Amino acid sequence: SLSLISGTLISISAPTWLASWMGLEINLLSFIPLMINTKNTLSTEAALKYFLIQALASAIFLFTVILMHFNDMTLLLNQTLFLTLLSSSLLLKMGAAPFHFWFPGTMEGLSWVNCLVLMTWQKIAPFMLISYVIVMNTFMSMVVMSSILIGSLGGLNQTSLRKIMAYSSINHSGWMLAALTTGENYWLLYFTIYMFLSTSIVMLFQSFQLYHINQNFLMKLPPYVKFGLFFLLLSLGGVPPFMGFMPKWLIIQSLTNLGHLFLITVMVITTLLTLFYYLRLTFAAFSLSWQEISWFEIFPKSTPSFLTLTVLSTGST
């Protein structure tokens, strides 16, 4: 809705922290009605859970902003404490680890369209606000590492596609936080590509009403859909020469120049773990009907729009 968009725009363009808080609240109150579906009790539960968590994060954010106005910010100890509190409230809002506990459960109760909004648009304002105060100190290094570790390990044992996408989003949040410490341009590139790929995958899941891995066995998906999903997930995992590889490579180069070698090692290893559960989706789709695929069936005369997005995702920026 218009108020959802305007809340985010107010928040990221506000001149003061208090005005940013008002934008976040407008955004929150606009998204809650979109989440609720009277025919699905899980969506009501997810909306209530989302509201309580966001209200807690907003309270911490507002409390920290008020303290900043009443305290002397020249003291280094106070500044570190306030920035940590402010960052924690924004990390809770975006669902980054270790403040991720609400994110997979909330995603499970939502429709695919709302899941997409939660994974992409709702993260814009917290990321932009945290970019003003982010520093790659010990706290932020732990947040980045915990996000990519939990995002990669949490998705390994999941059968729900929405939870898999939720843990994938947590993992990518860690990469985007690392990108913010090197420069906003890298974050913008990474987020744009992530939003493009997530939109393509969610469109595919929505069009075929896929919610669990075992549905790939039960539903006889067209071959071009399976290949499309395969290429999109490879790109989301950052495999060259697909689109998702370039921003990860740029972030790794920047972190190498800054000397964060241990962090880079953890990030690269966990990328392999995320690739495992991405590929598990496509192997589930391919396994039973691989022998049925013939080359003239792979690219039929009429292809849906998401296949065009898939072809675009194979290009490197």
SS3 37: strand
Distance CA 32, CA 9 (A): 18
The angle subtended at Cα 116 by Cα 219 and Cα 230, nearest 5°, is 45
Among residues 160, 156, 135, the alpha carbon closest in space to that of 278 is found at 156
- Position 130 scores a pLDDT of 95
d(CA 49, CA 59): 15
Check residue 188 and give its pLDDT. 96
Structure tokens, 95:
């669902």
Domain span at residue 285 reads: 2-313
Residue 18 vs residues 72, 124, 144, 254, 261: alpha-carbon distances, Å: 18, 18, 27, 33, 37
Whether the model pTM is above 0.75 = yes
Q: How far apart are CA 113 and CA 202, in angstroms?
A: 7
Packing angle between helix 223-237 and helix 261-286, nearest 10 degrees?
Answer: 170
* DSSP 8-state symbol, 1: -
Q: What is the pLDDT of residue 227?
A: 87
Q: What is the pLDDT of residue 11?
A: 95
Instruction: Identify the bridge partners of residue 223 per DSSP, sorted by sequence position.
Output: none
Count the residues in the chain: 317
Give the model's pLDDT for residue 305: 55
Sequence-ordered list of residues with C-beta below 8 angstroms from that of 21, at least 6 positions apart, any chain: 58, 61, 62, 65
H or E segment at 301? none
pLDDT in the model for residue 223: 80
pLDDT of residue 81: 83
Our count of domains for the chain comes to 1
Phi, psi at residue 95, to the nearest 5°? 85, 30
Task: Answer whether 313's CB lies under 8 Å from 242's CB.
Answer: yes
Mean pLDDT by 10 residues, the chain (317 residues): 92 93 95 88 92 96 87 60 91 93 94 95 95 90 95 91 95 96 92 96 91 70 84 92 93 93 93 90 67 45 52 54
My answer on whether omega of the bond before 98 falls inside 30° of 0, hence cis, is: yes
